[in-house]
Amino acid sequence: MTMTVPDAIERGRTLTVPALRAVVDRLHPRLRHVVAYHRGWVDAAGEPLTGGGGKLVRPALALLSAEAAGAPAEVGLPAAVAVELVHDFSLLHDDLMDGDTERRHRATAWTVFGADGAILAGDALLGLAVQILLEVPGEPARRAALSLSAGVQELVRGQAEDLMFERRSDVTVADTLHMEDGKTGALLACSASLGAMLAGADDELVNALAEYGSRLGTAFQLIDDLLGIWGDPSVTGKPVLSDLRSRKKSVPVVVALEAGGAAADELRAFLTTTGEASEAELAHIAELIERAGGRDWTTAEADRQLKACENVLRSQSMPERAEAELLALARFVTERDR
Amino acid sequence: MTMTVPDAIERGRTLTVPALRAVVDRLHPRLRHVVAYHRGWVDAAGEPLTGGGGKLVRPALALLSAEAAGAPAEVGLPAAVAVELVHDFSLLHDDLMDGDTERRHRATAWTVFGADGAILAGDALLGLAVQILLEVPGEPARRAALSLSAGVQELVRGQAEDLMFERRSDVTVADTLHMEDGKTGALLACSASLGAMLAGADDELVNALAEYGSRLGTAFQLIDDLLGIWGDPSVTGKPVLSDLRSRKKSVPVVVALEAGGAAADELRAFLTTTGEASEAELAHIAELIERAGGRDWTTAEADRQLKACENVLRSQSMPERAEAELLALARFVTERDR
């Protein structure tokens, strides 16, 4: 199914893009070019591009988070900018570490500006993210920046585990979910709660919003794992069965491994192979995973997380519009063709 | 000449090392190993080493900074830990970007743990540094973390310029000093002022201490540039004429280039050569730089910065012992055989 883009995304972009551009302008020209290229604002030669910049889901969450606490969206703007900068920091570094040469059909920054360009631009954005939050006077900003720093630790932990898991054969479903919680959940938890923090909300609301974000992150990631195997290439923009091609130990795969038996043995043997697998072989492996319950379990778990994410929102009293928009955003982020 | 290690360094180590270990223990085991190895606490296999850990000049400054504001050294401890973590972050990333395979006679972290180990450990330390400061309740912590984040921007700018200058032939003395101010001065300015900030000192004292740190950083870097050409290998631990071997455009070199004339032309031609130069050729180039005034100018400028650094301290009223120790520390850091 196709969904219309929620209002919160459109409003979020209108507020966030100019603020984001102003902040990136503070960087040294060399690093500014790397970041503007990475964001799709300019090409490798520095010429402006139209479009680009992504959906800005995290900033939209940060702005709604302020509104959920009864404040104007603008109060969440420093948080919106900060979480997007942290997201860019992690993409710049992860693409380099993972050796990925393409992102959204464009050459990744490190392939254009070298490893040092990507490392330094990422470092600068991480510093800048904290700086933007701390430029807001008062105690809420300290609290928000502290929370963001803790989120960064989780993000880095998740990436470290992801790289380690590639070399391990004994990874459990619990390990994988914990790793994905770091890689995806932590920053979404920050996105959904920092705006409320800046608005001076109490701990109960802040924690509820963080849980909403964290569970939304898990749901999103589980769906991403489903699409990585059973997604339609015309929708995902990735080759069919792409996660199997790269032998990625995503959640459906690990669920099938944990199920044990002959299917698990065959799957385990496949994961140790290297080189190009045939379409027929990949389709057979996908079939194995499905029969072992990998697809159903992952789908059910994504639904359970999304449900929990809605329940935690409904447990709080907040302005009706903010609640409705947070729910709509959760559905938008997770309703991809699966 | 040889100097005895100032009291402030010894006291600083006693306070800082346990705090630093406790903070590094918070990291994911994989990243903890990278950091502990980098700091010389363990070997590549994770076995504990004795000694190691460096002089901890930056933490010593941070503790003295709190004392300069009339507070106990302990008030500066979060700042001491934070600046050392930022220093480690920058070394982990810079060694990788510069392709340096050795630091203090040990293999650099990226050669042992891979590029991803060094990148992630650096990222984690940068996040952790800010986190440690922000865990101190209250407004002074926000101010200190904001100042540290701004310092990180300068650090990254300095490294970006350093990498760019390697490929440029039109770098001026002013460019080089500005680059070195980012690479070395910014973090020393933070080290010397964050302790006072945490102690709630007024802007005048904080700014004076930051200036002291910044000028100390410049003096230190200029002396490092002198030692890179004329230093005694038995003292520096680097090969004789090492900066000329690597064609580094350090301050004495750029001063000689700016002087113009035949010597500058010959020097410029040398800098474009690659491969191993003979001892005789290197000695001749060092001689050219000296005759063009590169050595004298750099020595005079280092002395001028050190003098200014003493004057700015004396302009402030602060506890006598703190002032005396800050002066002693400045002399210790800059009095290397030159």
CATH topology of domain A7-332: Farnesyl Diphosphate Synthase (1.10.600)
User: Is A311 near chain B, with CB under 8 Å?
Assistant: no
For an interface test with B, give the residue of A86, A116, A128, A157 to mutate (most B CBs within 10 A): A116
Structure token pair of residue B128: 């952790």
**Is the Cβ pair A127, B119 closer than 8 Å?**
no
Residues facing A55 on adjacent strands: none
Structure token pair of residue A136: 């807001």
Q: What is the pLDDT of residues A191-213, one digit of tens each?
A: 999 999 999 999 999 999 999 99
- Count Cβ atoms below 10 Å from residue B182 Cβ, excluding itself: 22
Residues of chain A with Cβ-Cβ distance to B156 below 8 Å are 28, 31, 120, 123-124, 127
Q: At what angle do helices B186-198 and B57-68 cross, to 10 degrees?
A: 40
From A216, A210, A185, A235, select the one nearest A328 (Cα to Cα): A216
Considering only the beta carbons, identify the residue of A128, A131, A146 that sits closest to B131: A146
Q: What ipTM was estimated for this complex?
A: 0.94
**Residue B282: Cβ-neighbour burial (10 angstroms; 0-12, 13-18, 19+):** buried
CA-based nearest residue in chain B for residue A31: B160
CA-based nearest residue in chain A for residue B145: A134
pLDDT at B242: 84
Considering only the beta carbons, identify the residue of A142, A149, A152 that sits closest to B142: A142
Residues facing A102 on adjacent strands: A107
pLDDT at A93: 97
User: Is B157 near chain A, with CB under 8 Å?
Assistant: yes
Considering only the beta carbons, identify the residue of A27, A31, A119 that sits closest to B97: A119
- Count Cβ atoms below 10 Å from residue B225 Cβ, excluding itself: 27
CA-based nearest residue in chain B for residue A158: B28
**Is the Cβ pair B156, A120 closer than 8 Å?**
yes
- At residue A7, φ and ψ (nearest 5 deg) are -50, -40
Tally the C-alpha atoms within 13 A of residue A62's C-alpha that lie toward its C-beta.
Answer: 29
Distance, first Cα to last Cα, chain B: 9
Q: At what angle do helices A186-198 and A77-98 cross, to 10 degrees?
A: 160
Residues of chain B with Cβ-Cβ distance to A146 below 8 Å are 131, 134-135
From A75, A165, A83, select the one nearest A126 (Cα to Cα): A83
SS3 state at A168: coil
User: Is A149 near chain B, with CB under 8 Å?
Assistant: yes
Cβ contact A35:A85 at 8 Å? no
pLDDT at A1: 44
**Is the Cβ pair A156, B122 closer than 8 Å?**
no
What residue ranges do the domains of chain A occupy? Answer: 7-332
How sure is the predictor about A55, in pLDDT bands with cuts at 50, 70 and 90? confident
- Chain B, 8-37: which have a CB under 8 Å from a chain A CB? 26-28, 30-31
**Is the Cβ pair A134, B122 closer than 8 Å?**
no
What is the rounded distance in angstroms from the CA atom of residue A176 to the CA atom of residue A179?
5
**Is the Cβ pair A127, B97 closer than 8 Å?**
no
- pLDDT exceeds 80 at position A156: yes
Compute the nearest-CA separation of B43 from chain A (Å).
20
Compute the nearest-CA separation of A26 from chain B (Å).
10
- pLDDT exceeds 50 at position B1: no
How sure is the predictor about A148, in pLDDT bands with cuts at 50, 70 and 90? very high
- At residue B231, φ and ψ (nearest 5 deg) are -70, 155
In whole angstroms, how far apart are CA B132 and each of B20, B80, B156, B195? 10, 10, 21, 13
Residues of chain B with Cβ-Cβ distance to A160 below 8 Å are 28, 30-31, 120
**Residue A1: Cβ-neighbour burial (10 angstroms; 0-12, 13-18, 19+):** exposed
Cβ contact B313:B61 at 8 Å? no
In whole angstroms, how far apart are CA B136 and each of B63, B82, B89, B124, B209? 15, 12, 21, 19, 21
What is the rounded distance in angstroms from the CA atom of residue B204 to the CA atom of residue B207?
5
Q: What is the pLDDT of residues A181-192, one digit of tens each?
A: 999 999 999 999
Tally the C-alpha atoms within 13 A of residue B103's C-alpha that lie toward its C-beta.
Answer: 22
Structure token pair of residue B79: 């700042």
How sure is the predictor about B335, in pLDDT bands with cuts at 50, 70 and 90? confident
DSSP E strand boundaries for chain A: 102-103, 106-107
- pLDDT exceeds 80 at position B53: no
What is the rounded distance in angstroms from the CA atom of residue B82 to the CA atom of residue B87?
9
Residue contacts between A and B (CB atoms, under 8 Å): 124
DSSP A48: B
Structure token pair of residue A236: 């995902």
Compute the nearest-CA separation of B93 from chain A (Å).
8
How sure is the predictor about A275, in pLDDT bands with cuts at 50, 70 and 90? confident
pLDDT at A3: 60
Cβ contact B330:B216 at 8 Å? yes
From A324, A331, A319, A327, select the one nearest A66 (Cα to Cα): A319
**Is the Cβ pair A142, B134 closer than 8 Å?**
yes
Pick the CATH number of B7-329 from 1.10.260.40, 1.10.600.10, 2.40.50.100, 3.40.50.300: 1.10.600.10
- What percentage of chain A's residues is helix, strand, coil (to nearest 5)? 75, 0, 25
From A219, A174, A173, select the one nearest A192 (Cα to Cα): A219
Report the share of chain B in percent with pLDDT over 70: 98
User: Is B82 near chain A, with CB under 8 Å?
Assistant: no
For an interface test with A, give the residue of B119, B136, B198 to mutate (most A CBs within 10 A): B119
**Is the Cβ pair A130, B149 closer than 8 Å?**
yes
CA-based nearest residue in chain A for residue B142: A142
User: Is B145 near chain A, with CB under 8 Å?
Assistant: yes
- pLDDT exceeds 70 at position A107: yes
**Is the Cβ pair B134, A120 closer than 8 Å?**
no
CA-based nearest residue in chain A for residue B179: A28
Q: What is the CA radius of gyration of chain A?
A: 20
User: Is B122 near chain A, with CB under 8 Å?
Assistant: yes
pLDDT at B336: 65
Compute the nearest-CA separation of A35 from chain B (Å).
14
**Is the Cβ pair A156, B127 closer than 8 Å?**
yes
Structure token pair of residue A102: 């393409």
What is the rounded distance in angstroms from the CA atom of residue A266 to the CA atom of residue B222?
63
- Count Cβ atoms below 10 Å from residue B1 Cβ, excluding itself: 6
Compute the nearest-CA separation of A97 from chain B (Å).
5
> What integer is the mean pLDDT of B315-338?
89
Structure token pair of residue B259: 């002087």
How sure is the predictor about B104, in pLDDT bands with cuts at 50, 70 and 90? confident
- At residue B84, φ and ψ (nearest 5 deg) are -70, -35
Considering only the beta carbons, identify the residue of B127, B141, B161 that sits closest to A152: B127
Compute the nearest-CA separation of A278 from chain B (Å).
31
Structure token pair of residue A232: 């339609």
